[in-house]
Structure formats: structure tokens, C-alpha cells
Amino acid sequence: MARKTRNPSFEQTLAILRDHSFDVQPFPAVAGGMLVSKHGAGAVLVGTPAQNADGNAEAATVVPPGALVYGEVARLLDRGYQKFIKSSRFELPASASQLQAIHLFSEELKQLTGAISLYNESLGTTSDVYEYDRLKGREATQAEPASPWQPAGTH
């Protein structure tokens, strides 16, 4: 028999997260946002204008999971040779324990909120931004190649 999935409302989601030892507090930088944190990682959730079957707003992630740095959810930056944690004021090399905390936090958050869990994200921590030093700025310097079917000027 098929199991019916029921997405909880925004308030029910916050209550479920509190019951599972997540810290939930208002986040003033986002209107109606709630900072959810655990294990030194956090994300910002808001209620969506779309409603579930009961007519209540569902929870949506506005700021994706990242490490907490001075009350701010920092982004994970991949430079090819190392991952960095980048906030508005700092850019620090990410340690293995921070990456594990972000991964554990995001998996727990997805499971409790009913969000989709993708296979590649379940394997390990994925970055928000990828900046490889050999590729950075390359797209701006190269001209678009001519199509082979277009004439090359003079014959």
C-alpha cells in the first residue's frame, strides 16, 4: 500500500526541529526567517506563500546549510585544492570536522522537514560556489569561436 506523504506546516516544522534538539531563533536579516542550527552549522527557513493540503504555509530554505560564523551562516567555497568557509567578514579554510558537521546537519534537516535528499549530496558535503584558480576569469577573455559553416571573410 502506498504511503501518503504529508508536508508539515511551517510552525509544525519548527516544532519538530525543536523536539530534535535544533536551536530555532528569529533571523533579522530575512523577513520572517528563522535560523535553525545544530552541530555548529545552520540554515535559514521561511514559510512559503504556497500552502499544503491543510491550508498552512510550508517551510522553505532561504539560506542553504553552512557553518555558523559569529551568528552568520557562511557559504562553502571550493577552490579545487581546498574548501573554504566564506562569510561576509572572513574566509577561513574548512576543517574536516566542520565539513562533517555541515553534512550531518543538512541530512538531518532534510529528513525532518521532508525535503528531497539527492544521492550526490548524501555522499558528502557539496559546496555552494566552485572557483578553480585555473578557470577563474577564463570565460571573459575568450572570444566566441566562429561557426564552421560561416565564411571567414575573404576568399
Task: Kindly state the average pLDDT of the residues 75-99.
Answer: 89
Q: Which pLDDT value is given to residue 142?
A: 56
Q: Is residue 155 part of a domain?
A: no
Residue found under cell 566566441 = 144
Q: Is residue 102 part of a domain?
A: yes
Q: Is residue 53 part of a domain?
A: yes
Does the pLDDT value for residue 131 go beyond 60?
yes
- Strongest mean pLDDT among 62-66, 117-121, 123-127: 62-66
Q: Is residue 88 part of a domain?
A: yes
Residue 16 near residue 10, CB atoms below 8 Å? no
Q: Is residue 61 part of a domain?
A: yes
- Strongest mean pLDDT among 6-10, 103-107, 128-132: 103-107
Q: Which residues pair with 68 in a beta bridge?
A: 73
Q: Is residue 59 part of a domain?
A: yes
Task: Kindly state the average pLDDT of the residues 111-127.
Answer: 77
Decide: helix, strand or coil at residue 77: strand
Q: Which domain holds residue 15?
A: 10-116+124-133
**What share of the chain has pLDDT > 70, as a percent?**
77
Q: Which residue has the higher pLDDT, 27 or 136?
A: 27
Q: Is residue 27 part of a domain?
A: yes
**Tally of domains within the chain:** 1
pLDDT band at 55 (very low <50, low <70, confident <90, very high): low
Q: Which pLDDT value is given to residue 85?
A: 92
2's CB contacts (< 8 A; 6+ apart) are none
Q: Is residue 5 part of a domain?
A: no
Q: Using CA atoms, how far apart are residues 28 and 80, in angstroms rounded to an integer?
A: 34
Q: Using CA atoms, how far apart are residues 151 and 43, in angstroms rounded to an integer?
A: 54
Long-range contact pairs involving 122-127 (C-beta distance under 8 Å, separation at least 24): 124/99, 125/76, 125/83, 125/99, 125/100, 126/76, 127/76, 127/77, 127/78, 127/83
Strand ranges of the sheet holding 129-130, from the earlier edge strand across to the other edge = 91-93, 83-86, 75-78, 129-130
- For the entire predicted model, the pTM comes to 0.73
Decide: helix, strand or coil at residue 36: strand
